[in-house]
Amino acid sequence: MTEASPPRLPPLNLLAYSATTALGAGLDAQRQALAQGRSGLRRNDFGSDPLDCWIGRVEGVEDVALPPALAGFACRNNALAWLALQQDGLTDALAGVVARHGARRVAVVMGTSTSAIGATEEAYARLSTDAEGMAHFPPELQRPRIHTPHALGDFVQATTGLQGPCVTVATACSSSAKVFAQAARLIHAGFADAALVGGVDTLCGSVLFGFHSLQLVASAPCQPFDARRSGLSLGEAGGYAVLERAGAGPATALQLRGYGESSDAHHMSAPHPQGLGARLAMEQALRSAGLEPAQLGYLNLHGTSTPANDSIEAAAVAALFPPSLHASSTKGWTGHTLGAAGIVESVFALLALSDGLLPGTLNSTVPDPACGPQIRFDNARADIGHAMNNSFGFGGNNCSLVFGKVE
Amino acid sequence: MREAIVEGIGFWGSGLPDWDAACAWARAGQRPAQAPARPAPALLAANERRRAPATVAVALEAALAACEAAGREPTALPSVFASTHGEMSITDYMCATLASDPRAVSPTRFHNSVHNAAAGYWTIGTGAHAPATAISAGHGSFAQGLIEAMAQLAAGSEAVLLVAYDGPACGPLAEMAPSEGLLGVALVLSRVPCPGLPVLRMELAQHAGMDRGDAAGPLSRLLAGNAMQPALPLLEALALERGQVLLPAGADQWLRIDIGHG
């Protein structure tokens, strides 16, 4: 494993960051709902034949109107990508890095699980058959750039005018955590001086009925790490961060300090029974940040509320960290936002650093027997120096990120 | 300018079922009279070889061949999997099933629908705990995969596996995302100099003023319909010992690669 272990990561400045979730658009909406313990989950009202479950749906996505020049990209996923990009000074921060380095030196690295597949699903629901018996998409959906996994990165690049390397990372639910690692490498290797990273995933039939087919969707709101949990609640979200090589622009209060990535090498949709991949990712993230486990102040867990994930992740955390660590899952607030979970929960970790609000685990009251003292159900306040986010995906694809406060 | 040594090459294309066949076609215009419709990768259990999605099979076949050619243990290599469209037979299946009977979605097809399916099966099949990623970047997917592989070397990995693949389009989606045949290419790239092995030196460039080089070569002409065909000029240059290629990397962006042949 030494070959794959990243050396100490040169810190990257975080010029701006934001998330838009079922809690609302932008950081203040996230802050308020986290502090008040107000969930964004609601009864499933998505689609014409909704499953009996709860979802984290973002208000107002249907009302987003893209600028006329971008109309060809219109679909639910790109609408949420657009809405999320207008928040918290992201575009100002991008203007700054473009002014310093030029648009060609700013990369776009976006994560998603299903990209704009909701538009492809819609096209299949409204096919027309020609005289030869061939089925075709309806004319208004005959837009190749939205029917491919790169639809998200392509749209974000077109929207922002950035001209550096542009790539969509699609490793299921670790996607928008891995974007930080890939952007850090692009900057380190000299392919870029700054990067817009992020992730967007929207509710669609593929994930609602797909997770249902795996019997992983709870009929009640999800209860991460609770002994009574019965499955996950799906959500949608978008978020971004603007990264820049430290020293190449203004100093920032927060930085990306480390990352760790690993593979379970076990099963396509079930975690490694001993949490080996999770532990490797967390250990490597700490090593790349130059930290001992006791120096971590907050850990945002993957914590999907599926029976398998939570007990395995809790055991991996208990084996690695001291009892003093405050670790929690915030999926009771947002639902599992899949390919956007990495950016959303990184933003929550950044809020813990900037505000000192360490979220608990909403909806959960009875700890799973595997939970160590690290797993916290109640919010707490503390001034911390370092926070981690875990994101694990299908295919046994794991990523842990470490963020730090500049002293 | 970043630099990497090509330690091993893996290849599987419709009609050209390994790198030797690709080289024979590129150099002498000869190809096998008969070739299998899809590979049967040794990494998959016998019952999975025919059931696995075709793109998973072609990715695993090329990846293992590259590791064997390089003499590298797959478990030691971080991997980068690049595909323009992923497995379109599953996208077509998911969308068609959702339109007709959404509660009938197959759980196996659903978990195989993730873009990192090939990466997942690779790590499971080899027992590799090293990191794996899966990316897409439209026409620039291969070049962006190469860039990420180079960036991983710069970040400290001694060697890295790059796998790029696409398969046939399927159903009504085919008009939006055309692709024909199966194509998988894999490179083991390293930082360890070794006499006799090709060296890639690459940098990003704008199109303006660049010479796109030769017209489509023999591999590109034979496999032109596949969405991963932008990878083929590099494979041709390696087979024919050419000195430079220019690969599309995105909107008005090119990856210029100078190749030193041992």
Please give the structure tokens belonging to residue B230. 């932008």
Distance CA A343, CA A19 (A): 7
Nearest CA in chain B to A264: B129
- pLDDT at A308 exceeding the cut of 60: yes
Q: Give the architecture (CATH level 2) of A13-405.
A: 3-Layer(aba) Sandwich (3.40)
CB contact under 8 A, B124 and A210: no
Distance CA A390, CA A178 (A): 10
Segment B223-246 shows an average pLDDT of: 96
CB-based contact B81:B137 (threshold 8 Å): no
Query: Mapping DSSP to helix (H, G, I), strand (E, B) and coil, where does residue A376 land?
Result: coil
Neighbours of A354 (CB within 10 A): 17
Please give the structure tokens belonging to residue B43. 């990494």
Sequence spans of domains, chain A: 13-405
- pLDDT at A59 exceeding the cut of 60: yes
pLDDT tens track for B32-49: 999 999 999 999 988 888
pLDDT tens track for B44-66: 988 888 889 999 999 999 999 99
- pLDDT at B216 exceeding the cut of 90: no
In this predicted structure, what is the pLDDT of residue A4?
46
Segment B60-73 shows an average pLDDT of: 98
CB contact under 8 A, A268 and B119: no
- pLDDT at A353 exceeding the cut of 90: yes
pLDDT tens track for A174-225: 999 999 999 999 999 999 999 999 999 999 999 999 999 999 999 999 999 9
Residues of B in contact with A136 (CB under 8 A): 172, 175
Residue A135 to residues A117, A118, A130, B214: CA-CA distances in angstroms? 18, 18, 6, 38
Distance from CA of A365 to the nearest CA of B (A): 31
CB contact under 8 A, B177 and A127: no
In this predicted structure, what is the pLDDT of residue A201?
98
In this predicted structure, what is the pLDDT of residue B211?
58
Residues 157-216 of B with CB under 8 A from A: 157-159, 171-173, 175-177, 204, 206
Distance CA A334, CA A358 (A): 16
pLDDT band with cut points at 50, 70 and 90 for residue A41:
very high
Distance from CA of A192 to the nearest CA of B (A): 10
In this predicted structure, what is the pLDDT of residue B212?
57
Query: Mapping DSSP to helix (H, G, I), strand (E, B) and coil, where does residue A288 land?
Result: helix
Distance from CA of B39 to the nearest CA of A (A): 21
CB contact under 8 A, B133 and A261: yes
- pLDDT at A1 exceeding the cut of 50: no
* Domains delineated in chain B: 2-194 (3.40.47.10)
Distance from CA of B95 to the nearest CA of A (A): 5
More confident residue, B43 or A6: B43
In this predicted structure, what is the pLDDT of residue A5?
52
- B206 burial (CB, 10 Å; 0-12 / 13-18 / 19+) is exposed
Please give the structure tokens belonging to residue A27. 């950081």
pLDDT tens track for B3-30: 999 999 999 999 999 999 999 999 999 9
pLDDT tens track for B153-172: 999 999 999 999 999 999 99
- pLDDT at B182 exceeding the cut of 50: yes
Rounded to 5°, the CA angle A63-A67-A69 comes to: 140
Chain-wide mean pLDDT for chain B?
A: 95
pLDDT tens track for A255-304: 999 999 999 999 999 999 999 999 999 999 999 999 999 999 999 999 99
Nearest residue, CB atoms, A266 vs list B124, B154, B204: B124
Distance CA A75, CA A325 (A): 41
In this predicted structure, what is the pLDDT of residue A194?
98
Nearest CA in chain B to A137: B172
Nearest residue, CB atoms, A214 vs list B111, B124, B127: B111
Counting one residue from chain A and one from chain B, the pairs whose CB atoms sit within 8 A come to 249
